[in-house]
Amino acid sequence: MNNTDWWRGAVLYQIYPRSFKDSNGDGIGDLPGITEKLDYIASLGVSGIWISPFYKSPMVDFGYDIEDYCAIDPMFGTMEDFDALLDGMHARGLKLVIDLVLNHTSDKHPWFLESRKDRVNPKADWYVWADAKPDGTPPNNWQSVFGGQAWRFCSRRGQYYLHQFLSAQPDLNVRNPEVQDALLGVAKFWLDKGVDGFRLDAVNHCIQDAYLRDNPSRPENERTPDRNFRHTYDMQRHLYDKSQPENLDFLRRLRALVDAYDDRMTVAEIGDDNNIAQCIEYTAPGLLHTAYSFSLLTERYGPDVVQSMVGAFREKGAKSWPSWAFSNHDSKRAATRWAIQSRPDTRQVKMLQALLCSLWGTIFVYQGEELGLTDAKIPYEKMQDPFGKFAWPEDVGRDGCRTPLPWEQAKPNAGFSVAEPWLPVPKEHQDIAVDAQDKDARSPLNFFRSFLKWRARQQALVSGDISFFEPREYVLSFTRNGLIAVFNMGDREADYTLPDGTRPLDGHGLPYALERNKLVLPAFGGFFGEPG
């Protein structure tokens, strides 16, 4: 690979800035806190970081409701703090990918404040507005991702505006060329600052059906463990409110802008009924570099899940490049979500770290995943997530995966802040803080560091192609340009017959036993080898 392709096979560490490190004692993480911990990030062996939004925002959705795309929210610091962070990262050879939210703004954004004034102002068509039906009901049946109808009536304009997320997040009219130009201007601002790429939030939502047609209902036979009809959003097939073909023309314009700069990249966040197909479509030549899928953020677990998703991308999108994650700020942590018999297990944590970083594609590791953090249980009175408050108690929302990172075992709030944090630090996280794991050679943290060092020496695991063997019970096996990888995803011993002459590649840290070509993997064990 040349430097232009640095993102292929990169491991990017996702930082949720509110919860990473508080530097000024207000209980909320900030940019100087990230800068303070850059040596820690570099010690992990990752290629760079993706930072969730830090723009000026009313924080109704904690930064994904943007009031000013080109300003730092004071709770996170200043533009000088951002410059210091970027310089510190580049000095350590780390790349910086920032969130770019193109689908919606805050309802406090000056663009929306002007747009809502009347139907004839210069920005009247910058958001998705539509007339009510004759009986006053919304223009169609579209539902918000966060629950309830996706339309809110504005009495000043006498129209509804679309909000596919919270009502405080009105959808931009990205069909409008002026809006596209404004968004490309935002991207140019940050490219000129020197960022290395963009994670494009909810990017397949950006353009909707021009006729605002109703979505069809989802039949009962499509009910799955991940779609259980608790929320109205899950009751529809989303044919018209997102993933429209016209969106690709806008993304070609964005790609052309990014390509005018050296060594930059784009990664799409895709949430759709057909995640893999959409990821492939959005990463076709001339579009985005890679796509971030929800496919492995599922409740379902096992070799068949991983193989079906990664294998489908490889089979149908061989000329595209995927991205994978097992956890993020919107999903329950993998250590909890995939715990067998609901018992988080350090052995499983290590195996999942190695498995994720062995897949074909660009890898995203969520902060705390290197520690094996579990989802925290947040009492209702301390909940912050608006979706969690809306859906409680059937769905507790996203607070459990967003609690502060524990830095020091013996300090109040695990050393995250001298003040009470915006979300509590659970005791089970304090017990496995960074400083405690630093001292333990067998900790998940030290395993993660050593595995990434070992991975960096195996070029096949960084950029090689992938081909799967038939999955067997809890055993997942595949090759990466001839390198053989076998993982026992179960909590019982499993055996596996390797091709004759296979030689083990040691140094990865997962347990196994080998006699000739008979491989025995203990619970959550793993093996890497090469042909004889």
Catalytic site residue 473? no
Tell me how far apart the alpha carbons of residues 265 and 8 are, in angstroms, rounded to a whole number: 10
The sign of the CA dihedral 373, 377, 383, 389 is positive
- Number of other residues whose CB lies within 10 A of the CB of residue 514: 16
* The residue to which tokens 């109808």 are assigned: 149
Q: CB-based burial of residue 101 (10 Å sphere; 0-12 exposed, 13-18 middle, 19+ buried)? A: buried
**188 within 8 A of 259, measured Cβ to Cβ:** no
**250 within 8 A of 207, measured Cβ to Cβ:** yes
Q: CB-based burial of residue 44 (10 Å sphere; 0-12 exposed, 13-18 middle, 19+ buried)? A: middle
* The residue to which tokens 């770290």 are assigned: 353
Amino acid letter for position 124: A
**115 within 8 A of 121, measured Cβ to Cβ:** yes
* The residue to which tokens 């410059």 are assigned: 83
Phi, psi of 23 (to 5 degrees): -100, -15
DSSP 23: S
Tell me how far apart the alpha carbons of residues 253 and 255 are, in angstroms, rounded to a whole number: 5
For residue 365, what are the contacts with CB-CB under 8 A and spacing of at least 6? Answer: 11, 12, 13, 14, 46, 325, 327, 353, 356, 357
**355 within 8 A of 306, measured Cβ to Cβ:** yes
**467-468 vs 503-504, strand pairing mode:** unpaired
For residue 473, what are the contacts with CB-CB under 8 A and spacing of at least 6? Answer: 303, 490, 494
Question: Whose CA is closest to 140, among 208, 202, 205?
Answer: 208
Helix axes 275-282, 246-259, angle to 10 degrees: 50
Tell me how far apart the alpha carbons of residues 177 and 163 are, in angstroms, rounded to a whole number: 20
Phi, psi of 56 (to 5 degrees): -60, 130
Looking at 171, 196, 201, 272, which residue is catalytic? Answer: 201
Q: Any alpha helices (H) in 158-197, and if so which ranges?
A: 177-193
Catalytic site residue 125? no
Largest CA-CA distance found in the chain, in angstroms, rounded: 78
Looking at 61, 107, 269, 399, which residue is catalytic? Answer: 269
Amino acid letter for position 297: L
458 alpha carbon, distance to own chain's centre: 25
Written as six digits, the tokens of 232 are 């109205």
- Give catalytic residue positions: 201, 269
